[in-house]
Structure 1
Amino acid sequence: MNLGVDVVRPAVIAIDLHRGHLDPEVATMPLSAERSKAVIETNRVFFEKCRAAGIPVIHLLTLYRSVEEIRTNPFWRTRAEDPTATRKNVLKHNLWGSPGTEVITELLDERDWVVNTKRRYDCFIGSDLEFTLKNNGINTLLLTGVNTNSCVLATTVAACVRDFAAILIEECVDTIDGPKAHEAALTCVRAAFGWVMSGDEALAAVRS
């Protein structure tokens, strides 16, 4: 399959697969317990296949120093004031030292890389992700994580405009905003920003 790069050099970009979304006991922006289990399992299986193929797994982890660092975003400030919003706990989400900032144990391997300087939906903004990718010659991103219609979508768009080949792994993403938002994000990616594939399809594509 033609991915538009001369030599495919892939890495997994695992977005916010942390307790803040996926551990119902501590999550401030939780998926349902059932969906959390499903996302953890599909990512676990995909990561194992990628590691076996020599593809690095890079975890992107949201981490805020303070509430004020979150409140500088005007829209997020309004979400905290709306008790019906899915992001109503935004000012409590993944603050430094909170249990939500821990990557789900089953998904973290000693061979993985962690970028814990993510502070906005776009994983490139304010983090050292692009430096890490370019420094290691990576040009193709296999994107997984939460939420499909915010962090995953924003990062896929950002990857595309930075000239990375972007492949979103369909069974490895989900959102707290429900299936319509999830499907809308996939539609946007397919239309303009990259490929949407199963994990096995993506691995076959990068190997070809």
Structure 2
Amino acid sequence: MNFGVDEVRPAVVAIDLHRGHLDPTVATMPLPAEQSEAVIAANRRFLDNCRAADIPVVHLLTLYRSVEEIRTNPFWRTRAEDPSATRKNVLKHNLWGLPGTQVIPELLDERDWVVNTKRRYDCFIGSDLEFTLKNNGINTLLITGVNTNSCVLATTTAACCRDFAAVVVEECVDTMDGPEAHAAALTCVRAAFGWVMSGDEAIAAVTGRGGMR
């Protein structure tokens, strides 16, 4: 597989696989329960197989110190004022100390890296993600997580603009905004920013030795 790099040096970038999206008992911006279960199961399988292949896993975790850090964003402020918006709870989402800020336990391994300074859809902005990747020689990102049409799309776009090869792992991403938004985001990725593959295909492509168990 030609990713346009001289030597593929991959890492997983797992975006917001936390209880704030995926645990219906505490989630402030939840995926529907059935979708949450599917995302957790797919990511668990994919991440386990990446670790077995010595591909590092980086968890990106949204975490705000205060409501003011959220409401500085003009559009988000309007979502909080619209009771019909899927993101109407944005000003309550993943504030410091809330249980939603915890990575789903079954998706976190002691070998993983955690970047918990994510405060916008683009995981690179205001975080040390790029520093972490470049100082570990990473040039190819296998991107998973929530939501396909916001954080996943924004981060894939930013990765492309920073000259990383970006691969979105199709069964490991989803959105609370519905299937049309999910499909449209993947179409945008394929057209302009990177590759969309299954977990099997992604592991085979970056390792050259088969897929998932």
TM surpasses 0.5? yes
TM, length-normalised to structure 2: 0.97
In 1, Cα distance between equivalents of 2:40 and 2:203: 19
Task: Report what 1:120 is aligned to.
Answer: 120
In 2, Cα distance between equivalents of 1:166 and 1:35: 24
Task: Report what 1:147 is aligned to.
Answer: 147
3-state SS, counterpart of residue 34 of structure 2? helix
In 2, Cα distance between equivalents of 1:17 and 1:39: 9
Letter in 2 for 1:9: R
In 2, Cα distance between equivalents of 1:121 and 1:188: 16
Q: 5 Å matches for 1:120-139?
A: 120-139=120-139
Q: CA RMSD in A?
A: 0.4
Letter in 1 for 2:32: S
Task: Report what 1:37 is aligned to.
Answer: 37
For residues 93-112 of structure 1, give each alpha carbon's deviation from its aligned partner in whole angstroms, at most 9, with x where no partner exists. Answer: 00000000000001000000
Task: Report what 1:186 is aligned to.
Answer: 186
3-state SS, counterpart of residue 170 of structure 2? strand
Task: Report what 2:65 is aligned to.
Answer: 65
Q: How many percent identity over aligned positions?
A: 85
Task: Report what 2:90 is aligned to.
Answer: 90
Letter in 1 for 2:16: D
3-state SS, counterpart of residue 166 of structure 1? strand
Task: Report what 2:22 is aligned to.
Answer: 22
Which runs of 5 or more structure 1 residues have no equivalent in the other structure?
none
In 2, Cα distance between equivalents of 1:192 and 1:82: 32
In 2, Cα distance between equivalents of 1:20 and 1:170: 21
In 2, Cα distance between equivalents of 1:136 and 1:173: 25
In 1, Cα distance between equivalents of 2:182 and 2:65: 29
In 1, Cα distance between equivalents of 2:186 and 2:33: 23
Letter in 2 for 1:110: E
For residues 85-143 of structure 1, give each alpha carbon's deviation from its aligned partner in whole angstroms, at most 9, with x where no partner exists. Answer: 00000000000000000000010000000000000000000000000000000000000
In 2, Cα distance between equivalents of 1:58 and 1:110: 11
Runs of 4+ in 1 over 3 A off after TM superposition: none
In 2, Cα distance between equivalents of 1:46 and 1:69: 33
The count of corresponding residues between Structure 1 and Structure 2 is 208
Letter in 2 for 1:13: V
TM, length-normalised to structure 1: 1.00
Which runs of 5 or more structure 2 residues have no equivalent in the other structure?
209-213
